[in-house]
Amino acid sequence: MAAVSTKPVVLTDSRTDAAEGAIDLRRVQLGKAPDGRLRAAITASEAFTAEDLVAEKGGPPGSICLRLYTVTTEIERSIPEHLACVTADAAGEKLRGSVLKERANDLPTRTGTVSVSRSSDTTIVLRFSQSSIGKPASVRFSAEATRPGCVRTSCVDAAPTPPKVGTFTLREPAATTNRP
């Protein structure tokens, strides 16, 4: 049985492996804020602004997402059940965030909001409710940054390098009872 995490879980990626024009992620941390919400801090190797996530010529925006696995155990062969993503408004002035639930053969559905703040010019802090990801007993996580204007997987930088993930335990799993 996993012990309940009282300290944030920190993952690092020391490689400089982002595609040209993409934000290179170096560190991701997941923990619980004093108000009970989940708190993630995602750090890049260099400073970035909201404007760095805006695509030229109307292409898809770039994003920085926390990949959240709440059910799946075979992470290397699956997509996360939830994403907590940050992108920029169209003007590139403000960061905004949402929690999304992935759905098979369909677009993701929005399940919650993400409060986005900056702790430095290289780090964004995301806060979101546990209920927006189904109040799991534990969550496996990693982070990804997608280059603006690109939809290919080659435009994504991950921290840590897949299939590595961290596990943050929120509570002891519910006891199962054996009934005849």
Q: Is the dihedral of CA 174, 110, 118, 25 positive or negative?
A: positive
pLDDT digits (tens, 9 = 90+) for 121-143: 999 999 999 999 999 999 999 99
Mean pLDDT in residue range 86-98 = 96
Look at residue 118 in the predicted model and tell me its pLDDT.
Answer: 98
- One-character DSSP codes across the chain: -PPPP-S-EEEE-----PPTTS--EEEEEEEE-TTS-EEEEEEESS---GGGGPPGGG-PPPEEEEEEESS-S-GGGS--SEEEEEEE-TTSS-EEEEEEEEETTEEEEEEEEEEEEESSSSEEEEEE-GGGGT--SEEEEEEEEE-TT--SGGGEEEES-TT--EEEE-SPPPPP----
Q: Is the pLDDT of residue 115 over 70?
A: yes
pLDDT digits (tens, 9 = 90+) for 56-65: 887 899 999 9
More confident residue, 22 or 180: 22
CATH numbers and ranges of domains, the chain: 9-169 (2.60.40)
Is residue 148 reached through a cis peptide bond, with omega within 30 degrees of 0 on the bond before it? no
For residues 64-86, average pLDDT: 87
Predicted structure pTM score: 0.90
The residue with tokens 């770039």 is 62
Output 179 or 36, whichever has higher pLDDT: 36
Residue 28, both tokens: 């991701």
Per-residue pLDDT band for 89 (boundaries 50, 70, 90) equals: very high
Mean pLDDT over 3-16 rounds to: 86
